[in-house]
Amino acid sequence: MWVASEEVVMTVRVFDAHLHIIDPRFPLVPNNGYVPEAFTVDDYVARTDEFVARDGACEGARAFEVAGGAVVSGSFQKFDQTYLMDALERLGPGFVGVTQVPVDVSDAEVLRLHEAGVRAVRFNVARGGSAGLPDMDRLARRVFDLAGWHAEFYIDARSLDGDLGRRIAALPKASVDHLGMHRDGLPHLLRLVESGVMVKATGFGRVELDPAQVVTAIVDVNPRALMVGTDLPSTRAQRPFTVTDFDLLCDTLDASKLDGVFWRNACEFYGVRGFQGGG
- Identify the structural domains of the chain with CATH numbers, from first to last: 12-270 (3.20.20.140)
pLDDT of residue 34: 85
Beta bridge partners of 31: 34
Amino acid 4: pLDDT? 44
Q: How many CA atoms lie within 13 A of 241 on its CB side?
A: 24
Query: For residue 112, what pLDDT is reported?
Result: 98
Report d(CA 122, CA 184) in Å as an integer. 23
- pLDDT of amino acid 49: 94
Tell me which residue of 157, 155, 260, 250 sits closest to 212, measured CA to CA. 250
Among 13, 9, 40, 48, smallest CA distance to 261 is for: 13
pLDDT of residue 33: 83
Q: Which residues of the chain, if any, have pLDDT below 50?
A: 1-6, 56-59, 277-279
- How do residues 3-45 score in pLDDT, each as one tens digit? 444 455 688 999 999 999 999 999 999 877 888 999 999 999 9
125, 159 contact by CB (below 8 A): yes
pLDDT in tens, 141-169: 999 999 999 999 999 999 999 999 999 99
The amino acid at 208? E
Predicted pLDDT at 62: 86
**Single-letter residue type at 215:** V
Closest CA to 122 of 109, 112, 113, 131: 131
CA distances from 233 to 1, 39, 161, 214 (A): 25, 7, 31, 23
Helix (H) or strand (E) holding 65, with range, is strand 62-72
CA 264 – CA 243 distance, rounded (Å)? 20
Length of the chain in terms of residues written: 279
> What's the chain's average pLDDT?
91
